[in-house]
Amino acid sequence: MKKFGRGMATIMFGFGYGEGFPDHSIASIEIKEDERIVIRTAAADVGQGVITTVIQIAAEILRINPNYFEVVQGDTHKTKNSGSTSATRQTYFTGNAVKKAAEDMLANLYHYGSLEFRSNHPEIAIEDGKIYMYDDPDDYITYWEMAERVKERGEKLEAEGSFFPVTYSPDENGQADKVYVAYTFLSQVIDIEIDTDTGIIDLLDVYSAIDLGKAINPKNVEGQIEGGTVQGLGMGMMEDQVIRNGKTLNAGMTDYLVPTSVDVPKFKHYLVEEEDSEGPFGAKGVGEPTLIAAAPALANAVYDAIGVRFFDLPISPSKIKKALKEKEENS
Amino acid sequence: MTDQSKRIKDYFCKHTTRCTIEGVKKSKRFVGHDVLKADAWDKVTGDAVYPDDISFDDMLYIKIKRAVHPHAILKDIDISRAKKVQGVVDIIVAEDIPDVRQFGLIIRDQPVLIAPGEKMRYMGDALAIVVAETKEAAKKARDLIKVKVEELEVITDPFRAMEDDAPNIHPDGNIVITHHLNRGDVDTAFKDSAIVEENRYQTQFIDQLPMQNEAGVALYDERHGVVDIWAATQWLHDTQADVAQSLRLSKDQVRIIQPTIGGAFGKKEDVSVHIHLAIAAMRTGRPVKLCFTREESMITQSKRHPITIINKTGVDRDGYLTAWETKFIGDTGAYASSGPAVVHKGMYHATGPYNCPNLRGVSHAVYTNNTYAGAMRGFGTAQGAFAYEQQMDILAHKLNMDPAEFRLKNIYKKDSITPNGQQLTHSVNAEETIKRVMELSDWKGGRK
Amino acid sequence: MQITLTVNGEQRELEVTPYTRLLDLLREDLGLTGVKEGCGKGECGACTVIMNGELTASCLVPAPQADQAEIITVEGLGTRDNLHPIQESFVEAGAVQCGYCIPGMVLAGKRLLDENPKPTEKEVRYGLSGNICRCTGYAKIIDAVMLAADKLAVEGSDSND
Amino acid sequence: MMRKSPMKQESRQTISGVDFKEYFQPESIQKALEIRAEYGDQIEVAAGSTDLLVANYEKLHEIKYWLDLVKLDQLKKIEVIDNELHIGAMVTHLQLMKSDLIKKNLAVLAAAAEDVGSPQIRSRGTIGGNICTSSPAGDLLAPLLSYGASFKLQSTEGERIVKAEEFFTGPKRNSMETDELLTEIIIPLTDNKREGSWIKVGRRKALVISTLTLAVVLEFEGEKIVKAGIAMGSVAPTPVRLKGIEAVMVDQKLTDLDYKALGREVKASINPIDDLRGTKEYREDVAVDVMVRALKEIERKVSS
C-alpha cells in the first residue's frame, strides 16, 4: 500500500563567518585595451556560480554586456584574499567587493571621461562601453580606448574594492549585538508516498519559498535550491557513512548512496525578493539554507504518512518497516 | 513562435514564481536575469581542466600509506621492501621531515606524517609518502610497507570520549570546545508552560561526496624557491597559509593555483593533498601528482558531524514558545578541522526562526577515533533543523494546531531577537516564506 | 599489446596493457580528459563514453576489450564555438554546476535521444540513472535533455523543409 | 629545510611494480578451454569485466594472467533449440532486456536484466558473469532459479550440465571447477501459460545493489498451477530457490491460495543477515509482503 504524506519545515541560516571572526573579500577590476574587463578575486567557484554572479554585478554597474568580462579566479599570486567559498558568503561578501570595485571603476571612467571631454560628470554619459557627452552621442570614446589613454598617462584603468562588515564575538552566555551579518530564511513543503510493503519513500513534490533579498541570477538560485534540497533529502533518507570501531564499512559509492535522477522529486520555487539586505542589490546568500529544511520536512511528511516519528537519521526503509510492524502489533 | 519553440521557452519559467515587482526587475539589465554561466561552455565540452587533468612530462606519482589502526602508537615502519620496487623514487617518512609542523583549519592538530612513538588517531592518518615513476609502482610499494603498532582503546563515540577514564586522543583532553547559550529564565518558563516536549535526536556521518576526489599536481621551482601547487581549495589564501606554516616557508614561496573545482560542499576546506605534494615536489625536484581514490577520500577527509541533540521545548496554551533548552554533542572525530565552529553554530540556530524568550544551551565538540568531521553545507544547522523542526511539528500536533499556523505564530519578524541576542533589524521575511510556500503547495492545514 | 580503435571518428592504433583501463587510455594516452574518474567502480557515471553505440563505464573496460571498438567521448560532440544541441541545451538550461558529471551526462542524454527522440520526463530520468550528480539535484539536467529533444526536433523539421 | 634528496640507492631495486604476464583473447571456445585448463585458478576470466574490475580496483597490475572471452561470438547468441532457450554466457544484460525471445518467454528475466545497475553496466555486464560472480545479490540469479535454468560448463575434458540451484555453493562461491568455463544457460520453454513477477528492493531506485529480490514464475494449465518457480536473492548466503513453497502451490488454483500464509512461509524459509543494505528483520518482513504483492500481480495478469 502507498501512503501519502506531506511535511513542512522552515529554517534560518545566519551567513558569513560571523562571531567576530574577520570576514572580508577583496576584488579588483581592470579594463584592458584589448576589449576585456578582468575581474580578479580569489573566490572559489565550486560550481555554484560566483564567477557568473560577480560578472553580472560588475556588468550592471559598468553598464556593459557580460560577454566582455573575464575572471581571474584562483591563484594566490595573482589575486587577493576573498575568503572561503563557505558560510554562504560569496555572493554577499565578494559580490559586494566586486560591486565596490565596479563603482570605483565607474567613477574613474567619469573622471577620465571628464578630462577627455573637458567637462564634468553630469554632462557625461556612460553606456555599453562608450563614454560621450549627452549632447553628442556620436563623438564617443570606448572603454578600451580610454584604457589605452590612461595607460599612456602611465596609469592603469584599474579599481579595487573590498567589503569588511563587522560582527561581534558572543560572550560566555552566547550573547552579542551582531553575531551574523544577516539571515536567510526558507520554507519548504515536501510531498511523499511510503510503500508500506518495503518501507521505501517515494519523493513526489518539493515546494520552496526562500527569502533571499534578491536573486542575482534566478536560474542559478533554482539550481542551488534543487541541489541543496536533494542533498538534504539524501541526508534524510539514505546517506550514512557507517564507521564501526573507527573503520568505515561503506567507503565507496557502491554502498554510500546518494539520490539518482530517478529518486529526486519535482520542484516548484518561490523567490521572495524584497531587496532589503546589505548584500549587492539587496541579495543574501542561498548556498547552505537550501539544504537545511529538507530532512526535517521529510521527517514531518513521514509522520504525516504513517504516524511515526523518527529521531535518528537517515530514515531508512529498514527503520520505516520496523516502525510499521511495531505500530501494527501495538494497535 | 512555433509550438516547439514555445515549449522550449516554457523550460525557463516552469519552476519558479518570483515576487519582484516587474518594474524593478526591468530596471536592471543584467542583475536578476538568467545570464548563462560563464564557465558552462568549458564544462560541456570537456575543456575545463580539473586537478587530475593536469600532467607534466617526467611526472612522478604519489600514493600515501595510511594508518593501519584507528588508535595506536606507531612502533616501527619498515620501508625496506617497498624501496626495492622498480620505479620507486622516494619514500618519505616522518624522520625525513623533522621540521615540518602540524596543520589544521582552526586548531593545528593534524600531523603531516606520523612518526614512530606518535599516535595514529584515525584510519586516514598518513604514515609515508611513496613517490614513483608509475602509479602501479607507487601502489605496490605502498602495500609493501610494513608497520608495527601498539593498539590503544578505540573511542567510537563522544559519550565514551567524555568519560573520566577514557584515554585522551589529544594531550588536552577529548572535549575540543564547549559553548553556552543563556537568555531569560528557562526554569520558571518551563514551569509555566502548558506543554513541554523533550526529545533526543541523532544525526549521522555524511560524506559531502563531491564528484571529484581530492587531487593535485605540484612542481618545485628551485630557482625562485617557490612550490607551485595545482589543487582545489575552497579558501585559496588560507590553504596557502597553512601549507606555508607547516613547511616553514613564507607565503610567497607557496603558490596555489586553483584548477576547475569538481564540487566541494565543505570537503575542500581542509588541507588534503597539498602538503604531501609540496614535500614530494621539493624532495624529488620533479613534478608530482597525487589523486585520492573515492575510498581514500571518504576515509581520510572531513565528514558532516554526527550530532546528538537533546531539545526540551515549552509552549503556552495559546501556542507561543516559552522556553527552549538544548544540548548539542558533536562527534568531531580524530581532528578538530571546522568542528570547533560547526557544533555551536548548530546550537546558535537551535530554535530555528522562532521567537523564544527563554533559552539555555550547551554544546561540546568532542574528539573520537572516527574520521574527522568538519565543514559541510549547513555547518551544524542542518542537524539542528532536523531536531527543531520536528519539535515544532510535534508541538503543533499536541496543540491541535495546523503546523503552518503554529509556525506563523512564532516566526521571526523584524526586530525579533535570536538566541544570541541579535536583534534582526532588516531583511526578515521568514513569515512571507511560510505564506508563499502554503500558497504554492496549496497547503490545507495540518493533517493527522 | 596492440589494439586498434576508433575514437571520435579517428582510427587509432595503440600499445596497451590490460591494467590500463579504457578510461586511462582515453585520458592519458589520447589526452581526452573530458572523460572523468569519480569512483573507478562504475557507480557514478563520470567516466561514461559511448562504446559501440552504447553507454559504457570506461573505468570498467580493460583496454584490450576496446580493440576494434568505436568510442565517442564528449570531445567528439561539439566545440566551444560549435556546440552540439545537447551541449547547448545544458548551457541554456542552467544544468551545469561543478561540471564534473557533465561530460557523462551529456553523453547519456545524447545516447537516449539517439534512440528515443521524444522521451517523456520519466524516460529521461531513467536514461540518466547511471550518472550521479551531486550539485544540481538533476532538475535542470532533466530540463536540458528535454530541451535538447525539442531543439533536435526543430532542427530535424527545418532540414525537412 | 627540504633539500633535494632522492632516495639513496643502497639496495638494488628488484621487485617489479607490475605482476602482469599474459593476456589471452581467444577466438574459439576450444582455445579458451585449453588456456583455462593450463592456468586454472591462476587466471582471471574476463567477460564483461564489470565485476572483475571492481574486485581488482587499484590492483589490476597484480593480475598475472587474463582470459578475455570478449571475442567468443559463439557465446553472444540467444536461440531456441528443441523447446529450450539457449542463452550464450556472453550475452549482455542489455541484450537480454531488449531480446524479443526473452521478453516473450522469460519476462521475469528480462525485467531483472533491466534492473541491473545502470545503462553503463548493462551494456557490458553479461549473464555468464553475473552467474559466475555468484553474489547472493546478483539480479539475474533468482529469475534463473525460478525458471529452472541449467548451466553448461565446458572444459577440455568435456561438458556437464548443472542445475542452477546446485551451482551456487556460498557467497561468491560456486561449483565450477578451475578448468571449466560457463558457456551456456539453458532454460526449458513450455506451451503452458506462464506468468511471473519480478520484485527488486533496494535503497534507491536505480544503480543499487539489491537488498532483496524475488522472482516468481508460475505455469498454468487452465486455472491450475502446474509448475511453480520461486526464488530470492540477498536473503541467504546464495540465491535460493524455495522448493517447499513451490510444492505447496502446485496443483492449486492461484486464487485459492492464502497469499499471506505463503508470504510467512517465505519468511520462514530464508536466512538473511544484517548488512549495510538492510537488516535481517527488514528482509524477513519485506519478504512476506513482496510475496503477497507478486502473487497479486500474477493474479491480475492471469485474469486480464
What's the CATH number where B106 sits? 3.90.1170.50
- Half-sphere CA count of C12, side-chain side, radius 13 A: 21
Q: Taking phi first (over 0 means left), then psi (-120 to 50 degrees means alpha), and beta for anything else, what does residue B359 get?
A: beta
Strongest mean pLDDT among B22-36, B99-113, D12-26? B99-113
Domain stops at, among B243, B277, B300: B300
- pLDDT above 70 as % of chain B: 94
Residues B196 and B253 occupy one common structural domain: no
Separation of alpha carbons B288 and B62, rounded Å: 7
Residues of D in contact with A196 (CB under 8 A): 289
If residue A37 lies in a helix (H) or strand (E), which one and from where to where?
strand A36-40
Question: Is B201 a residue whose pLDDT tops 50?
Answer: yes
> If pLDDT is split at 50, 70 and 90, which confidence band does C158 have?
low
- Half-sphere CA count of D199, side-chain side, radius 13 A: 24
In a domain, B46, yes or no: no
Residue type, B19: C
With a CB-CB cutoff of 8 Å, which residues 68-97 of chain A face chain B?
69, 71, 73-77, 79-87
Q: Can you tell me whether residue D55 is helix, strand or coil?
A: helix
Q: Taking phi first (over 0 means left), then psi (-120 to 50 degrees means alpha), and beta for anything else, what does residue C27 get?
A: alpha
Residues B292 and B429 occupy one common structural domain: no
**Which of C136, C141, C143, C147 is best to mutate for the A interface (most A CBs within 10 A)?**
C136
Which pLDDT score is estimated for C155? 83
Q: Which residues pair with D196 in a beta bridge?
A: D217
> If pLDDT is split at 50, 70 and 90, which confidence band does C157 have?
confident
C126·D206 Cβ contact <8 A: yes
D118, A262 Cβ separation under 8 angstroms: no
Question: Which cell is D101 given?
Answer: 525471445
Separation of alpha carbons B210 and A263, rounded Å: 18
Separation of alpha carbons D155 and D151, rounded Å: 13
C51-86 tens-digit pLDDT: 999 999 999 999 999 999 999 999 999 999 999 999
Question: Is B11 a residue whose pLDDT tops 70?
Answer: no
Provide the 8-state DSSP code for D202.
-
D6·B284 Cβ contact <8 A: yes
Question: Is B3 a residue whose pLDDT tops 80?
Answer: no
Residues of A in contact with C94 (CB under 8 A): 219-220, 222-223
CATH topology assigned to domain C85-160: DNA polymerase; domain 1 (1.10.150)
If residue A126 lies in a helix (H) or strand (E), which one and from where to where?
strand A124-127
Question: Is D183 a residue whose pLDDT tops 80?
Answer: yes
Residues of A in contact with D289 (CB under 8 A): 196-198
Q: Which of B295, B356, B296 is nearest to B324 (CA)?
A: B356
Question: Is D274 a residue whose pLDDT tops 80?
Answer: yes
The three-point CA angle D248-D251-D257 to 5° equals 55
The architecture (CATH level 2) of C2-76 comes to Roll (3.10)
Instruction: Provide mean pLDDT across the span C136-141.
Output: 98
In a domain, B404, yes or no: yes
A257·D281 Cβ contact <8 A: no
Which pLDDT score is estimated for C44? 98
CATH code at position B330: 3.30.365.10
C60·D25 Cβ contact <8 A: no
Nearest to A318 among D207, D278, D293 (CB): D278
**Beta-carbon contacts below 8 Å between A and C:** 77
Chain C residue with CA closest to B6: the answer is C150
Task: State the nearest Cα–Cα gap between C68 and chain B, in angstroms.
Answer: 24
Question: Is D10 a residue whose pLDDT tops 80?
Answer: no
Kindly list the residues of chain C whose beta carbon comes within 8 Å of any beta carbon in chain D.
1, 17-19, 21, 40-43, 45, 48, 51, 54-57, 59-62, 64-65, 67, 108, 111, 126-127, 129-132
Question: Which cell is D284 given?
Answer: 524477513
Separation of alpha carbons B377 and A225, rounded Å: 12
Q: Which of D225, D221, D270 is nearest to D249 (CA)?
A: D225
- pLDDT above 70 as % of chain D: 96
> If pLDDT is split at 50, 70 and 90, which confidence band does B6 have?
very low
Domain stops at, among B300, B331, B358: B300
Query: Rounded mean pLDDT of chain B?
Result: 94
Q: Which chains would you list as touching A if contact means 3+ CB atom pairs under 8 Å?
A: B, C, D
Separation of alpha carbons B219 and B136, rounded Å: 21
Strands (E), B350-409: 358-367
B249-302 tens-digit pLDDT: 999 999 999 999 999 999 999 999 999 999 999 999 999 999 999 999 999 999
Q: Taking phi first (over 0 means left), then psi (-120 to 50 degrees means alpha), and beta for anything else, what does residue C48 get?
A: beta
Q: Which of D73, D117, D111, D105 is nearest to D91 (CA)?
A: D73
> Distance of alpha carbon D123 from its chain centroid, rounded?
15
B211, B271 Cβ separation under 8 angstroms: no
Q: Where in chain C is the domain with CATH 3.10.20.30?
A: 2-76
Query: Rounded mean pLDDT of chain D?
Result: 95
Which pLDDT score is estimated for B8? 46
C147, B11 Cβ separation under 8 angstroms: yes
Residues B182 and B115 occupy one common structural domain: no
If residue D23 lies in a helix (H) or strand (E), which one and from where to where?
strand D22-24
Q: Give me the phi and psi of B321, to 5 degrees please.
A: -65, 140
Residues B128 and B256 occupy one common structural domain: yes
Residues B133 and B190 occupy one common structural domain: no
Residue ranges for chain A with pLDDT beneath 50: none
Q: Which of C84, C130, C123, C82 is nearest to C105 (CA)?
A: C130
Separation of alpha carbons B380 and B342, rounded Å: 5
Nearest to A263 among D204, D211, D279 (CB): D204
C41·D57 Cβ contact <8 A: yes
Q: How many CB atoms lie within 10 A of CB B188?
A: 12
Residues B332 and B375 occupy one common structural domain: yes
Where in the sequence numbering do the catalytic residues of A fall? 288
Q: Which of C2, C4, C51 is nearest to C23 (CA)?
A: C51
Residues B77 and B103 occupy one common structural domain: yes
B401, B445 Cβ separation under 8 angstroms: no
Q: What is the residue range of B410's domain?
A: 159-206+303-441
Judged by a CB distance cut-off of 8 A, whether residue B363 touches chain A is no
Residues in chain A: 331
Residues B35 and B169 occupy one common structural domain: no
Instruction: Please state the ipTM of this predicted complex.
Output: 0.96
Residues of B in contact with D204 (CB under 8 A): none
Packing angle between helix B236-247 and helix B274-284, nearest 10 degrees? 50
Residues of D in contact with C1 (CB under 8 A): 23
In a domain, B276, yes or no: yes
Judged by a CB distance cut-off of 8 A, whether residue C44 touches chain A is yes
> If pLDDT is split at 50, 70 and 90, which confidence band does D15 have?
confident
The three-point CA angle B46-B50-B52 to 5° equals 110
Q: Taking phi first (over 0 means left), then psi (-120 to 50 degrees means alpha), and beta for anything else, what does residue B384 get?
A: alpha
Residues B269 and B412 occupy one common structural domain: no
Instruction: Provide mean pLDDT across the span B346-353.
Output: 98
**Which of D51, D116, D260, D286 is best to mutate for the A interface (most A CBs within 10 A)?**
D286
Between B24-28, B115-119, B379-383, the lowest mean confidence (pLDDT) is in B24-28
Place of cell 574518474: C37
Residues of B in contact with C80 (CB under 8 A): 41-42, 45, 47
C25-57 tens-digit pLDDT: 999 999 999 999 999 999 999 999 999 999 999
With a CB-CB cutoff of 8 Å, which residues 213-232 of chain A face chain C?
219-220, 222-223, 225-231
Distances (CA, A) of A184 to A166, A206, A271, B146: 18, 19, 12, 52
Q: How many CB atoms lie within 10 A of CB B198?
A: 12
Q: Where in chain C is the domain with CATH 1.10.150.120?
A: 85-160
**Which of C60, C124, C126 is best to mutate for the D interface (most D CBs within 10 A)?**
C60
Which pLDDT score is estimated for B15? 59
Task: State the nearest Cα–Cα gap between D39 and chain A, in angstroms.
Answer: 31
Please state the domain count of chain B.
3
Bond preceding residue A314 cis, omega within 30 of 0? yes
A290, B180 Cβ separation under 8 angstroms: no
Distances (CA, A) of D247 to D163, D229, D284, D296: 18, 9, 21, 19
Separation of alpha carbons C85 and C150, rounded Å: 10
What is the pTM for the complete model shown?
0.97
Q: In what order do the strands lie in the sheet with D224-233?
A: D193-201, D212-221, D224-233, D240-241
Separation of alpha carbons A316 and A310, rounded Å: 10
Which pLDDT score is estimated for D5? 53
Residues of B in contact with D3 (CB under 8 A): 283
Which pLDDT score is estimated for B346? 98
Chain A residue with CA closest to D274: the answer is A318
Q: Which domains does chain A show, CATH number per domain?
A: 2-15+181-330 (3.30.365.10), 25-163 (3.30.365.10)
Nearest to B248 among D1, D6, D7 (CB): D1
Instruction: Provide mean pLDDT across the span D129-135.
Output: 98
Question: Which cell is B215 given?
Answer: 587531487
